[in-house]
Amino acid sequence: MSMKLFEEQYTAWIDGRLTGEELAAFEAQLERGLPNGVTKAQAEADRAAVRQLGVLLRGHYAEVPAPVLKNADFFNQQVLRQIEAETPPTAPPAATVIPWPFRRLVWGGLGSLGMAALLFVTLVLPQLHPGQYYAQILQTQTGDPSISAVAVHSEKENVTVLWIDGLDYVPAKKAKN
């Protein structure tokens, strides 16, 4: 049995922490006498002394009033101040950055909206001016379904414009005729 192991086992024996085979082995050793020549009777007397010492210490610390932290609120305040000093300032929130591919989409979308608004203002609004009305011709008979016709009438000008869209290109030669 090494010296260190003896100290550990002896302490465990005093505190009643040896059990089973360990306890049996240690008590057998006590019967024979410990390595340092201590007899079983001496060891048992020592165990009783250690218990007395424990009683003395517990009594002492029980009698002494438990120390209470003075200026407790100031204590917290000091610690929190120190924590604050150690905490790096939080960075301002970074500006929202839109990745380049999405930025193109955003600009594209905005551009389309702008163009639509421009067309609405220049083409549709004038047609909705009071005194004018705009009508889509619902039924036409053509050989090509892609051809559509719109009629715009102006009371002020006393004119009706029939707008036909989707007609084939007319060669300039025929147009001259």
Partner 1 sequence: MQPEDCGPSDDAQLVAQCQGGDRAAFDQLMTKYRNQVYATIYNLARNEEDAWDLAQETFLKAWRHIAQFRGQSKFSTWLHRIATNVTIDWARRKQIEGGMEFDDGVGLHEIEPGAATAPHSASLPHQNLQAHEIQVRIDNAMTHLSPEHRAVILLREVDGLHYEEIAESTSCTVGTVMSRLFYARKKLQTLLRDVYETL
End-to-end CA distance of the chain: 128
Task: Kindly state the smallest distance separating residue 95's Cβ from partner 1, in Å.
Answer: 23
Kindly state whether residue 22 participates in binding partner 1, applying the rule CB under 8 A.
Answer: no
Binding mask 31-60 for partner 1 (x = CB under 8 A): ---x-xxxx-xxx-xx--xx-xxxxxxxxx
Task: Kindly state the smallest distance separating residue 33's Cβ from partner 1, in Å.
Answer: 11
Kindly state whether residue 68 participates in binding partner 1, applying the rule CB under 8 A.
Answer: yes
Q: According to CB under 8 A, which one of 31, 32, 61, 143 is a site residue for partner 1?
A: 61
**Is residue 154 classed exposed, middle or buried when 0-12, 13-18 and 19+ CB atoms within 10 A define those classes?**
middle
Q: Which is nearer to partner 1, 35 or 111 (CB)?
A: 35
Q: Which is nearer to partner 1, 70 or 173 (CB)?
A: 70
Cβ contact 46:14 at 8 Å: yes
Residues 6 or more apart whose CB falls under 8 angstroms from that of 165 comprise 147, 148, 149, 150
Kindly state whether residue 91 participates in binding partner 1, applying the rule CB under 8 A.
Answer: no
Q: Which is nearer to partner 1, 54 or 114 (CB)?
A: 54
Kindly state whether residue 84 participates in binding partner 1, applying the rule CB under 8 A.
Answer: yes
Beta strands in the chain (DSSP E): 132-136, 148-154, 159-165
DSSP string, 130-145: TTEEEEE------S-T
Q: Which is nearer to partner 1, 61 or 169 (CB)?
A: 61
Give just the sign of the alpha carbon dihedral 69, 74, 77, 78: negative
Residues 6 or more apart whose CB falls under 8 angstroms from that of 127 comprise 134, 152
Q: Which parts of this chain interact with partner 1 (CB under 8 A)?
A: 3-4, 6-8, 10-12, 14-15, 17, 34, 36-39, 41-43, 45-46, 49-50, 52-61, 63-64, 66-70, 72, 75-76, 78-80, 82-84, 86-87
